[in-house]
Structure formats: C-alpha cells, structure tokens
Amino acid sequence: MINATTYTARAHTNIALIKYWGKKDEDLILPMNSSLSLTLDHFYTETSVTFDEKLSDDLFFLDNQKQDVSNVSTFLDIVRKKANIQSKAQVYSTNYVPSTAGLASSASAYAALALAASKAAGLELDKPSLSRLARRGSGSACRSIYGGLVEWQAGFDDETSFAYPIKMPNNFEICMIALIISTNHKKISSRMGMKRVVETSPYYSNWVESSKKDLLAIKKALAENDFKTFGEISEENAMKMHALNMSAHPHFSYLEPDSIKAMKIVEGLRLQGISCYYTLDAGPNVKVICLKKDVSSIVNIFSNSFGHEKVLVASSGPAAHLI
C-alpha cells in the first residue's frame, strides 16, 4: 500500500555534442556508442505524479490536454515493478520546449517523469539508478538527470548503461544559441530514424568507431581547455550523423533550407574571428555552440536573419530536481 502523495520534478533538455544514434537493444535502449551532452537551462519539463489506489487506469495530461497513456504506462510499469506496487497513477506534465523538433523534449520529459514517479512510488534511487531508469523511457533522458556536461557510457547491459557528469573547466563558459527553424512535428521520429540507419546504412559501423574516437578527442580538448577543438569535434560529429541519414534506405534528412542558411552564417562568423560551431539533433533546428563573451554579437546577426523571437540563448543547466 502506498500513500497518494504527489511529487513534482523539473528536468532540463540536453543537446548531444557527441551523438547517440542507434541502439543495440531496442527494449532496454542500450546505445551502440557512448555520447556526451550539455544540459541547457532554457528548456525544461515539469511533471507531477501521484499513485492512487482508487484509479482504475493511468491518466496522462500534457499541457492540460489528455493524452494517449500507452508509452507512459509502459514506463510506469517499470517503476511499479521496482517499487512492488500495483497502483495506477495520474501524470501531469508541462513542456517548456517545442516537442518533436530536435530540441530533446523527450529527454527532459522522461527525466522528470523518472524522478517524480520514483519518488511518488516510494523509491529512493541514487543518481546512477535514476539515470538507468530514465534511459528506459528515452535514451537521452539518462543524461538529463545531471546538469552541465554529461557522458552516457554505452555499457553492455541494463546495469552498466547510465550517465554521469563531466567536469567543465572553470573558464569554459559554454553557451548554446538555439535557432528555431521549425516547431512542426517530425515526419520521421528519432526512434524510427536511427533504427533505419542501423539496419540499412553501409557506413554505420564506421560511424560507431568514429564516434568512439570523437568522444576521446573531445574529452582531451576539455582537459586542455581547448574550445576551438571542442567545437570542431562537436560540429563534425553532428554532420557525420546527418550524413548517415542520407545514406540510409530509403534516405531521409531532418535539414531544411534555413538549417543550411544558419550553418553557412556560422561558418562565415568563424572567418570573421568569432569562435562558434553548429550542431543539430534529429530536427531542423540549429544549435550554435559558443562562449559567453560572443553571445550578444552572434544573437544580433541571427536575429537580423531569422527574427529575434526565433533566437533563444541557453547556458549550462541544472540537474533534474524536485520542486
């Protein structure tokens, strides 16, 4: 028996700098390669969970609209099994990030759900265990349990695949400028896209090996306080991921004309001596990696090209927490 206590959690999105793109286990969501991300302060999800023995079914509301509960119930079943309870739950979630547009809304959503649901079920999970739980909802959610720079070690089973924080140099004031090219729903979900790539791209095995090298190299750049190399590796890793999509069968791309336009602007800024680099996840929205000192000049240039309302500035964000 469990008291019907409500817990509310907030978790922030993260953007991968070394990408996770492909699973070796679809059920456990075990990635083919390890990854590294930056948790962002600007985008987050707040989720409240109440387990109540009076409920006959789980209920899920997103932004005050009742939703299909199947995916949430599947995740809650994992929590119920860990807590040895049978009670159904009410889940109320508010997303402060555009959904399904390449801004990692599923990462913040499942990280917040993992924290709120585990607490409401009476579990006291340490951070690695919470990271493993969040992973079962969405792979990248395991990284949103932590703030700042985070590595997700691929591992080889449920126990060994989880995230942990990476120390950032004191004067490494990374910011990320998000350019909202589109908030439309993706035609091909991340889950579907990476599955197609794993199964059909002739270059996939090379991607896995290349990403392992990228992760080692970017951590070396961090240790040496080398932002230029850090940015170059991030940008190249993103482009290799998007090249995979275009090598799949049938091929596909998340990029739109304005994505290419933004990327060209970043390349032009570098020629002017401004150290900035782009990355994109499974969507058209471009994220510009830069240092805090260059934010205002970059924002002005992109505001002139895309409109001020489409340019959002984020810094390193906090770990998932109860509110």
- Say yes or no: 183 and 286 in one domain: yes
Pick from 187, 190, 181: which is nearest to 286 by CA? 181
- Say yes or no: 158 and 290 in one domain: no
Residue 73 has pLDDT above 70, yes or no: yes
**CA 281 to CA 254: how far, in whole Å?**
9
211, two tokens? 């990403």
Q: What is the pLDDT of residues 269-291, one digit of tens each?
A: 999 999 999 999 999 999 999 99
Mean pLDDT is lowest, of 60-74, 87-101, 188-202, 234-248, for: 87-101
- Say yes or no: 183 and 160 in one domain: no
Mean predicted lDDT score pLDDT of the chain: 95
Task: Indicate which CATH number applies to the domain containing 58.
Answer: 3.30.230.10
- Say yes or no: 21 and 153 in one domain: yes
Q: What is the pLDDT of residues 251-265, one digit of tens each?
A: 999 999 999 999 999
Which of 140, 168, 196 delimits the end of a domain? 168
pLDDT higher at 103 or 55: 55
- Say yes or no: 154 and 187 in one domain: no
312, two tokens? 């959002």
Mean pLDDT is lowest, of 71-85, 96-110, 121-135, 146-160, for: 96-110
**CA 142 to CA 127: how far, in whole Å?**
10
Range of the domain at 91: 6-168
Q: What are phi and psi of 53, to 5 degrees?
A: -65, -15
Task: Provide the whole-model pTM.
Answer: 0.94
- Say yes or no: 104 and 159 in one domain: yes
CB 196 within 8 A of CB 233: no
56, two tokens? 């006959």
For the chain, the 3-state helix, strand and coil shares in percent, each to the nearest 5, are 40, 25, 35
> Residue 268 corresponds to which amino acid?
G
- Say yes or no: 121 and 26 in one domain: yes
- Say yes or no: 137 and 218 in one domain: no
Q: What angle do CA 50, 48, 314 make, to 5 degrees?
A: 165
Tallying the residues shown for the chain, one arrives at: 323
**Is position 1 within any domain?**
no
- Say yes or no: 129 and 160 in one domain: yes
**Is position 290 within any domain?**
yes
Residue 317 has pLDDT above 60, yes or no: yes
Pick from 74, 31, 38: which is nearest to 194 by CA? 31
- Say yes or no: 192 and 90 in one domain: no
- The per-residue pLDDT for 172 is 87
> Residue 77 corresponds to which amino acid?
D
**CA 150 to CA 148: how far, in whole Å?**
6
- Say yes or no: 78 and 146 in one domain: yes
Mean pLDDT is lowest, of 98-107, 179-188, 303-312, for: 98-107
CB neighbour class for 49 (10 Å; exposed up to 12, middle 13-18, buried from 19): buried
Q: Domain count of the chain?
A: 2
- The per-residue pLDDT for 169 is 85
- Say yes or no: 147 and 73 in one domain: yes
